[in-house]
C-alpha cells in the first residue's frame, strides 16, 4: 500500500470517528475539549463568592447544589424566599457549606431600582463578588399575532433589561478589582430561532448581543470574563412558568420532560465553561447542536432545516397547544 493511500485512509478514519463523536456530543466541541483537557471547577472555583439569580428552581437550583459541594460562598436570589430557603437547607444538608456561607437575597430582576442596593448587600455580606451568574428568566409559547404586547414587554424587561441592569451594577466592583466573571445563561434560541418563541428569541438574542458587545469594551481588563452560556432543552420548571398569549396566562405544567437534557449534566457543563473562561458555550444534544452550528456558520442551510421543523412545531402546537414542544424531534431518554 502506498503512503498516499495510507494517509487518505487514516484521514477518512479520523473523519468518521469525529462524526461518530459529534453525533453523541452534548456540547460544542470547545466546551467538550475543556471538559476533557481543561481546568477543573473543583480547583478554579474554590474560595469564590458566587451570586446565582433564579436560584429557586431548575438550572439555578441545581447550580446551588453543585456549587455547595465546593468551597465557595453562595448568594441565592429569586423572588420566592421560601423556595430559596428550601434550596439553602438542601445545600446545607448535602453540601460542604455552613450556614454563614449561604446568603439568601430576595431579588426581582424586573425591579431594576433595587439592584444597586442588592449589590451593596452582597458586598456587605461577603466583601467581594467573584462570579455573577445571570440565570433568572422566563419563556413563552404562542404565535406572534396571537400574543399580547404585555408578553413582549415582560420578557424584554426580565430576560434582557433585568439581566443587563444587574450586570451594570456588579461590573464597577469587578473593574475596581480588575477581575471577575459574569456568566449569563442565555439559550440556543439566542443563537438560532424557532416559531412560537418570538418574544423569548428576541430577548435572548438581545442579551447575547449585549454581553458580546460589552466584552469588546473590556479588552483592557483581561481578568474580567463575560460568558454567554446557551443551553438547549433542559429539565426544569421553565414550561410550567412559560407565558402564552397574555401575561396572565401560563402553560402551568411541565409535561413530559424525558426528551430534555438532565439538569445535573447541563449544570456540570456550565461549571466547566465557568472554570475555563469560555466566552460562549452551547450545551445541547443532537439535533439541536447541529442546528446551532449550521445557524452560526451556514445560516441559509439552517433556514432550510428550521423551515421544515417550524411547520411541524406549529401544526403540533395547534393540535395540542399545552404540551407540545420540540418533542417530536427528539427520542425519549432511556
Binding site for ligand NAP (CB under 6 A): 53-60, 78-80, 83, 107-110, 135-139, 158, 185, 187, 231, 233-234, 236-238, 241
**How many CB atoms are closer than 10 A to CB 158?**
18
**Rg for the chain (alpha carbons), in Å?**
21
Helix (H) or strand (E) holding 126: helix 115-126
In the structure grid, which three cell numbers stand for residue 300, read together? 441559509
Select 174 or 229, whichever has its Cβ closest to ligand NAP: 229
- What is the closest distance, in whole angstroms, from the C-beta atom of residue 24 to ligand NAP in the complex? 20
Select 109 or 289, whichever has its Cβ closest to ligand NAP: 109
Residues 6+ apart with CB under 8 A from 305: 291, 294
- The yes-or-no answer on residue 200 being catalytic is yes
Q: Which residues pair with 184 in a beta bridge?
A: 134, 228
Distance CA 116, CA 135 (A): 18
- What is the closest distance, in whole angstroms, from the C-beta atom of residue 153 to ligand NAP in the complex? 13
Q: Which residues pair with 185 in a beta bridge?
A: 229
Residues 6+ apart with CB under 8 A from 333: 258, 259, 260, 262
Distance from chain centroid for Cα 97 = 25
Closest residue to ligand NAP using C-beta atoms: 58
Select 46 or 212, whichever has its Cβ closest to ligand NAP: 212
Identify the active-site residue in 200, 221, 293, 297.
Answer: 200
- What is the closest distance, in whole angstroms, from the C-beta atom of residue 307 to ligand NAP in the complex? 22
Select 119 or 135, whichever has its Cβ closest to ligand NAP: 135
- What is the closest distance, in whole angstroms, from the C-beta atom of residue 212 to ligand NAP in the complex? 17
Please identify every residue annotated as catalytic.
200
Amino acid at each position: 500500500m502506498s503512503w498516499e493511500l495510507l494517509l487518505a485512509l487514516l484521514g477518512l478514519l479520523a473523519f468518521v470517528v469525529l462524526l461518530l463523536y459529534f453525533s453523541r456530543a452534548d456540547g460544542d466541541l470547545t466546551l467538550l475539549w475543556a471538559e476533557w483537557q481543561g481546568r477543573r471547577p473543583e480547583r478554579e472555583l474554590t474560595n469564590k463568592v458566587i451570586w446565582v439569580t433564579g436560584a429557586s428552581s431548575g438550572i439555578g437550583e441545581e447550580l446551588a447544589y453543585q456549587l455547595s459541594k465546593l468551597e465557595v460562598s453562595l448568594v441565592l436570589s429569586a423572588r420566592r424566599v421560601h423556595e430559596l430557603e428550601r434550596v439553602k437547607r438542601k445545600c446545607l444538608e448535602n453540601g460542604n457549606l455552613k450556614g454563614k456561607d449561604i446568603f439568601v437575597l430576595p431579588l426581582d430582576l424586573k425591579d431594576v431600582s433595587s439592584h444597586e442596593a442588592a449589590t451593596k448587600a452582597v458586598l456587605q455580606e461577603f466583601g467581594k463578588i467573584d462570579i455573577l451568574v445571570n440565570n433568572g428568566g422566563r419563556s413563552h409559547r404562542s404565535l406572534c399575532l396571537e400574543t399580547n404586547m404585555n408578553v413582549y414587554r415582560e420578557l424584554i424587561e426580565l430576560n434582557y433589561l433585568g439581566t443587563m441592569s444587574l450586570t451594570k451594577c456588579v461590573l464597577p466592583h469587578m473593574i475596581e478589582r480588575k477581575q471577575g466573571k459574569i456568566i449569563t445563561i442565555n439559550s440556543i434560541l439566542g443563537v438560532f430561532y424557532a416559531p412560537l418563541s418570538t418574544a423569548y428569541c428576541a430577548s435572548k438574542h438581545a442579551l447575547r448581543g449585549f454581553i458580546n458587545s460589552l466584552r469588546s469594551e473590556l479588552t483592557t481588563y483581561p481578568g474580567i470574563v463575560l460568558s454567554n452560556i446557551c443551553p438547549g432543552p433542559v429539565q426544569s420548571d421553565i414550561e410550567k412558568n412559560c407565558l402564552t398569549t397574555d401575561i396572565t396566562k401560563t402553560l402551568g405544567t411541565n409535561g413530559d420532560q424525558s426528551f430534555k437534557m438532565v439538569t445535573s449534566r447541563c449544570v456540570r457543563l456550565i461549571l466547566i465553561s465557568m472554570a475555563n473562561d469560555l466566552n460562549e458555550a452551547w450545551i445541547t444534544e443532537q439535533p439541536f447542536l447541529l442546528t446551532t452550528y449550521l445557524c452560526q456558520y451556514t445560516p441559509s442551510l439552517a433556514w432550510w432545516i428550521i423551515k421544515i421543523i417550524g411547520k411541524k412545531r406549529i401544526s403540533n402546537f395547534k393540535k395540542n397547544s399545552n404540551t407540545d414542544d420540540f418533542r417530536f424531534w427528539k427520542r425519549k431518554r432511556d
